[in-house]
Structure 1
C-alpha cells in the first residue's frame, strides 16, 4: 500500500482494534499493569484513565482511545462509494500512539435475580463478570489504518510507519480516480467514462455510447460485462 509501511509492526494495533470490536467491553491499561475483578466492577465509577473503548468499528475504538489520551487520529484520505468508481467507501486514518497500552477484555452477565431487578426498577448492574483476555502491547509510533464502508466500516488493514505519514508519498490504487476505461478484447471497441459517471462514450472507435445500468451478463467475479458492440466479446474495465 505504501512503500515504507512496516506491516508486521502494524499488526499490534490491528489486533487491538479487532479485539475491541469483538469484546463485550475493552479497557486500555498501561503495559504489565495488574488488573483485577475489582477494577472492572460494573457499579464502579467511570475511570478517565481506563474507559471502555469497545465499539462496533475500528474508527469508533480510535475515537474513544483519542478521548482518553492514548492516541491522536486524523483522516488523511476518504472517498465514498459514490466517488471514484467504488463499490464501498474507504477511509485511511493516520494514528499516532502517544503511550503504549494493552486492552483488557471483560464480559458482563446478568443472573436471573439481576434481570428481575432490572425489570422491577428499570435498571440493574450486571452481577457476574470476568476478565476474558488481554491484547498484546501496542507500542508508541505512527500507523495508517484502512477501513471500507460508507456508514458501517470494516477494518481492512493497519500499517506501521517510520514517521508522520504527511511526509510520505501515497500510492494507493484508485484514490482520486476520475476516469474509467472499458474495452472489448474481441472487437477492440473502446469507451471512456468521466467524473464518476457510468455513461461510456466511444474512445477512438465507431462503437455506440452506452450506460453500465443497461449492460448484460455482468460477471462480478471477472469484472466484465457482455460487449454492447459485438455482443459476443467481454468488456473489462480500468479505473485511473
Structure 2
C-alpha cells in the first residue's frame, strides 16, 4: 500500500525571464513502512522535493496523494494539521531551541499539536510531560531530559530532534541530511535509530549525499537536474 504518491509534480521558481524549473514531472510511489533514501548532487532538486513531501511547499503542479488524502488540494490550515499529525521532521542542524531543555524541545511539538486541534480534545500538560519523557527514554536520553542543547553532544542533540519528530506518533519520518553534521561513528548510531523506527513500522525518508547512509535504506531514489533517474 502506497503512503505517498507523487504524479507529474512540476515546480518552478522565479518569474518571466528568470523563471526556472526545479522539479520536472516527478512521479514516485513510496510504500507504507519503506525506508527510502533520496540522493542527488547539490542543486538537483532533492531538498525542494522534500519540501513538497513534507507539505512545506504547496505551490506546484501535479498530484500528491498522502495516505489517501489529496494533499495538493488542502487549505493552508489543513496542510498544517496534516503536517503536524502525519509527518515528523529531522534536520541536519537539529533546529533545537537552545534556551529550552531537551524535554521542553520535544514538548514543543505537542504544544503546536494543540494549536491545530480545533474542536478536538487538547493534550493535557500531564500527558505532554509523560509523552516527552517516554520518547526521550526510547532514544536513549532518559538521564538527559533536563539538559539544554549546549550541554549535549551532536549525536545527543540529533536524538532529541528525533524524539521531537516522534512524539506526535507520525506515520512518516522525513530526515534532511540527518548525519551531515556528525562524524561517521555517531552518524552510524543515528542511522541505527532510524532503522529501529523503520522496523517498528514507520515510513522513513532520508535526503542524503552519503552513499553509506543510502546503503542502509531499502531503496534509493536518485534525482538529477530535477528529474528522477
Question: In which range does the TM-score fall when normalised by the shorter chain?
Answer: under 0.3
Max Rg structure: 1
Q: Comparing both structures, which one devotes a greater share of its residues to helix?
A: 2
TM-score (norm 1): 0.24
Q: Comparing both structures, which one devotes a greater share of its residues to strand?
A: 1
